[in-house]
Amino acid sequence: MNNSVYLYGASGHAKVIIEILKSQGMSVAGLFDDNPAINRLWDYEVRPFVGEAYDAPFIITIGNNRVRCHLAQRIYVAFTTAIHSKSIISPTANIGNGTVVMPGACINADAVIGKHCIVNTNCSIDHECRIEDYAHISPNATLCGNVTVGEGTHIGAGAVILPGITVGNWAVIGAGAVVTKPVASGTIVVGNPARVK
Ligand SMILES: CC(=O)SCCNC(=O)CCNC(=O)[C@H](O)C(C)(C)COP(=O)(O)OP(=O)(O)OC[C@H]1O[C@@H](n2cnc3c(N)ncnc32)[C@H](O)[C@@H]1OP(=O)(O)O
């Protein structure tokens, strides 16, 4: 099936991805969810994933970074990106398969975004940032230049990461935090300036 994408995870996040696909002139090839109680999302039928041969690539439409990571390593399918037509992506930025980019997001020169990331509404990822796989940059977060975000890390809504800061793997930056120093892997920080919670 050309120009269509399978979605795994029939969630509110999936609704956003469906609208991104439509903004690109693409369509939904099918929707899957492991919860048998979910059998519809809008007008789409939702089925259990059984691992057949699929004729279009997938996006895992699950907001939880650990679940997305687990699934991505468990299902053997091709993955693709969904990039909203009203996001701004530098021609020198690089975006990995499985990653989604919401409306209003801006990704600047030489930024590198890994696989299966969520680049959420109106966030700003500036020049030469490096975002590792399975990270989520929430709405209105601002990553100044040369920021590194580790695997699986969640940057909360409206957080600001100052230039050149490294945030480790599987960390959480609370909504509205201002990160002025490096953040160790696995830690949760909140506030301005951000401190370990
Ligand atoms: C489209 C979308 O929706 S994308 C999703 C975007 N989601 C986000 O941005 C959420 C980011 N998550 C947060 O900010 C969370 O509050 C976390 C992860 C920082 C903390 O979550 P929890 O551990 O559940 O904390 P909890 O809600 O129990 O609060 C514990 C304390 O921390 C405080 N706190 C929680 N979040 C924050 C924050 N962002 N900044 C400052 N203080 C905070 C609470 O007020 C509370 O303080 P108290 O003990 O003095 O009452």
Mean pLDDT of the chain: 97
Return residue ranges of the chain for CATH 2.160.10.10: 82-188
- Binning pLDDT at 50, 70 and 90, where does residue 2 land? low
Handedness of CA 177, 144, 122, 11 (dihedral sign): negative
Question: Could you identify the atom of ligand 1 that is nearest to the CA of residue 141?
Answer: 9
> From atom 19 of ligand 1, which residue's Cα is the shortest distance away?
174
Q: List the catalytic residue out of 84, 116, 127, 154.
A: 127
For residues 142 and 70, give the distance between their C-alpha atoms in angstroms, rounded to a whole number.
27
185 is in an annotated binding site: no
13 annotated to bind ligand: yes
Of ligand 1's listed atoms, the one at least distance from the Cα of 12 is 1
172 lines ligand 1 (CB under 6 A): yes
pLDDT digits (tens, 9 = 90+) for 129-140: 999 999 999 999
What 3-state class would DSSP assign to 97?
coil
List, for residues 105-123, the tens digit of each pLDDT value. 999 999 999 999 999 999 9
CA of 47 to the centre of ligand 1 (A): 34
Does residue 175's CB lie within 6 angstroms of at least one atom of ligand 1? yes
For 68-96, the pLDDT digits (tens) are: 999 999 999 999 999 999 999 999 999 99
Q: Is 152 in the pocket of ligand 1 (CB under 6 A)?
A: no
pLDDT in tens, 3-20: 999 999 999 999 999 999
Contact assessment for residue 60 and residue 71, using Cβ atoms and an 8 Å cutoff: yes
Per-residue pLDDT at 99:
98
State yes or no: 124 annotated in a binding site: no
What one-character DSSP code corresponds to residue 2?
A: T
CA distance 113 to 162: 18
Give the class (CATH, top level) of 4-73. Answer: alpha beta
CA angle 22, 16, 155 (to 5 degrees): 135
116 in a known ligand binding site:
no
pLDDT of 22-63, one tens digit each?
999 999 999 999 999 999 999 999 999 999 899 999 999 999
Catalytic: 127? yes
Write down the residue that tokens 């990039």 correspond to. 83
What lies within 8 Å, CB to CB, of 48 at 6+ separation is: 32, 33, 34, 36
Nearest CA to ligand 1 atom 14: 174
The pLDDT of residue 1 is above 60: no
45 phi and psi, to 5 degrees? -75, 140
The yes/no answer on whether domain 82-188 falls in CATH 3.30.300.30 is: no
Q: Is 65 in the pocket of ligand 1 (CB under 6 A)?
A: no
Domain with CATH 3.40.50.20 in the chain: 4-73
Supply the residue whose CA is at minimum distance from atom 24 of ligand 1.
174
Task: Please tell me what DSSP assigns to residue 174.
Answer: P
pLDDT, position 27? 97
